[in-house]
Every structure is written in C-alpha cells, then in structure tokens.
C-alpha cells in the first residue's frame, strides 16, 4: 500500500522506521533482530537505506595506487522484498541518483515493480568521500528533483525505452526535507524552493532529516505551507545514545542540538544516563509532535531498536 494511503486511512499518528542493510557478509538475521522488537507497535512501513560504493586505494607493485570500489552495505531491494514477505509490512527502498545512469534507474524501478513495491524514497545521495561535491554518473541525475521527474514519467507511462509498453507503474514518491536546511544550501528559503520543485515534479510526501528542536520542525512546516507545499510532512527522529554524538550529529547532519539537551548530556554521570536522557528527550519530542497532528513519526533506528522500543512504549 502507498504511504499516502496509509496516511489518509488513519485517524491517528502512524509509526514507521528506517533500517540500514547489514555490513556485507552479515546475515539478514541481524535485520530481523532489529525489526522483531518493534513489530508489536504495528509499523505502517519500514524504510531501507541505500548505500553506494565507496572508494579505497590499495598500494600495488612499484608503489602504484589502485582505486578500488567497495560496496559496504549492498542489498536494499532484496531486504525490502524479504521484509514484505516475512512481515507483510510495506518496505520502502531508498533510491539515489549517485552511481546510477537513467537507464540503470529505470531498470531498478522495473525490479521494484516486479516485486510489488509501491513506494520509493527518491534522494540525490551524498558526494562520495573522495569527491568535494556531488558528481553524477555519466548519464545520471544531478539532483533528486530529476529522479522524481523520471519516476513520475514512468508513472505516466513514459519509459526511456519508448518502444516498451509501460502501463503498470504507480509509485508513491517520498523525498527528503531539511528543517534546518541542507548543508549545501545557502539558506532555508532556497532549500525550500528546491523542495517545492520536488513536490511539483511529483513527490507525494516528505520525510525530514532528524532534528532535536521541535520548534525548527514547526517553523519548517509553516514555511512549507506558506510556499504552497501541501503534501504530508513526516518528521524523522533519532534518540541520542552516546556522548560522542553531541559532536558527531551536528557535523554529520548539519543540525543544532538545543542548549538544554546538551547541558543535560554533559552533566550525565555515565553513558547509560546519556542513553536515558536521549530516550526521554525523544519521548517528549514525539508526544509534542503527535499533539500537533503529524501524520506519522519516523524513527531512525541505525540498527538499534532497544531505545526505539522504550520510546514507542511511552508514546503509542
């Protein structure tokens, strides 16, 4: 079922979560172990992230450096299919521009359609670590809006291969939104204009980057409305689980942590207290967001569902 149908059929706030494919070589059981504890809370859908290749350099004979492509977390589509099969819950693969030509994207969408997957989260992807800025694959998309346009074209019966019949595609398209703006964007206005372009290109709903200050989300929602962005906006949440994240989260996600939260975390006696503070903060955020009428709460589990379970017990 489409995410938008889940939302329109529900009278109360839904719950969904995101998982990462396991590191290459690990069993799919690690995925099931992170999903199982959350099933009792009746998730409406489960997102599975996509990780493109990374490059490493190996020294060869005579000191030559060989650039080698490594895929650390392959398997997004297979995992989605396994989730649908095992749990009968909608699984949403993330699809990115990076590393894909338009033809490869089209073929990936055909695979998803064969598997009965109705939803995709369309993203650009980050630049690979060895590049200063995002570089699309030759013949690939530079921005998520172009990927959304391609999916929307397919939904309207237009494959790149114009000879091929295409009458059965109806993907519900999600895109990313950034309450504290995307790192590359000069300001929130420009980022919102680009977000609006994704919606005008056919995006059906927005999932946000994580945030710890609900007022940032409420402001983002208000600004979206003022700009005429009227699709559902799903807030993304992740509890802080270690003191080191006070430094790493703002850097990785380009977001601020509220002073009050940092103050509590710095004064915690140990990591277990840090974890508890993170859980309580997320519970309070969740309750306030539900009260404000958000359609769904989306949790970033990062493969660790114990904290999310504690939060869900208090919130749903």
Q: Could you give the residue numbers annotated as active site?
A: 18
Helices (H), the chain: 3-9, 29-35, 76-87, 102-114, 144-155, 188-200, 214-226, 245-253, 259-266, 271-291, 306-315
Strands 14-19 and 45-48: parallel
Q: Is residue 207 close enough to count as binding ligand FAD by CB under 6 A?
A: yes
Shortest CB 93 distance to ligand FAD, Å: 9
Q: Is residue 75 close enough to count as binding ligand FAD by CB under 6 A?
A: no
Q: Is residue 148 close enough to count as binding ligand FAD by CB under 6 A?
A: no
Please say whether the dihedral angle defined by the alpha carbons of residues 93, 39, 240 and 295, taken in this order, is positive or negative. Answer: positive
| The pair of three-digit structure tokens given for residue 131, joined into one six-digit string | 């590049």
Length of the chain: 316
By C-beta, is 3 or 176 nearer to ligand FAD?
176
Instruction: Assign 39 to helix, strand or coil.
Output: helix
Q: Is residue 218 close enough to count as binding ligand FAD by CB under 6 A?
A: no
Shortest CB 176 distance to ligand FAD, Å: 3
Residues 6+ apart with CB under 8 A from 297: 13, 14, 15, 16, 234, 235, 237, 286, 289, 290, 315
Q: Rounded to 5 degrees, what are φ and ψ at 185?
A: -85, 135
Q: Is residue 220 close enough to count as binding ligand FAD by CB under 6 A?
A: no
Shortest CB 22 distance to ligand FAD, Å: 14
Q: Which of 176, 257, 282, 308 binds ligand FAD (CB under 6 A)?
A: 176
Shortest CB 57 distance to ligand FAD, Å: 21
Which of the stretches 27-35, 64-72, 190-198, 273-281 binds ligand FAD when contact is defined by CB under 6 A? 190-198
Q: How many residues bind ligand FAD (CB under 6 A)?
A: 22
Q: Which residues bind ligand FAD (CB under 6 A)?
A: 49-50, 94, 96, 123-126, 143-145, 176, 182, 184-185, 190-191, 194, 198, 207, 209, 236
């Amino acid at each position: 079922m489409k995410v938008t149908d889940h939302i329109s059929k529900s009278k109360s706030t839904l719950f969904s979560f995101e998982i990462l494919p396991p590191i290459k070589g690990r069993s799919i059981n690690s995925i099931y172990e992170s999903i199982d504890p959350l099933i009792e809370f009746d998730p409406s859908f489960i997102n599975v992230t996509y990780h493109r290749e990374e490059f490493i350099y190996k020294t060869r004979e005579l000191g030559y450096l060989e650039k080698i492509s490594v895929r650390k977390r392959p398997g997004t589509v297979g995992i989605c299919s396994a989730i649908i099969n095992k749990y009968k819950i909608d699984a949403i693969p993330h699809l990115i521009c990076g590393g894909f030509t338009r033809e490869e994207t089209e073929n990936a969408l055909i695979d998803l359609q064969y598997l009965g997957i109705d939803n995709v989260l369309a993203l650009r992807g980050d630049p690979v670590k060895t590049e200063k800025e995002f570089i699309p694959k030759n013949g690939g998309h530079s921005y998520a809006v172009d990927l959304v346009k391609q999916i929307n074209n397919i939904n309207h019966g237009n494959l790149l291969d114009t000879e091929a019949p295409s009458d059965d595609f109806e993907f519900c398209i999600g895109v990313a939104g950034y309450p504290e703006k995307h790192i590359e964007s000069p300001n929130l206005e420009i980022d919102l204009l680009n977000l609006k372009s994704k919606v005008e290109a056919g995006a059906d709903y927005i999932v946000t980057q994580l945030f710890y200050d609900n007022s940032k989300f409420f402001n983002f929602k208000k600004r979206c409305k003022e700009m005429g962005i009227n699709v559902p906006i799903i807030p993304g949440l992740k509890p802080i689980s270690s003191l080191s994240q006070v430094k790493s989260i703002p850097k990785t996600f380009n977001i601020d942590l509220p002073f009050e939260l940092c103050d509590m975390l710095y004064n915690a006696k140990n990591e277990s207290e840090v974890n508890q503070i993170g859980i309580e903060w997320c519970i309070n955020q969740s309750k306030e967001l539900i009260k404000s009428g958000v359609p769904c709460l989306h949790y970033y589990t990062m493969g660790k569902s114990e904290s999310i379970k504690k939060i869900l017990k208090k919130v749903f």
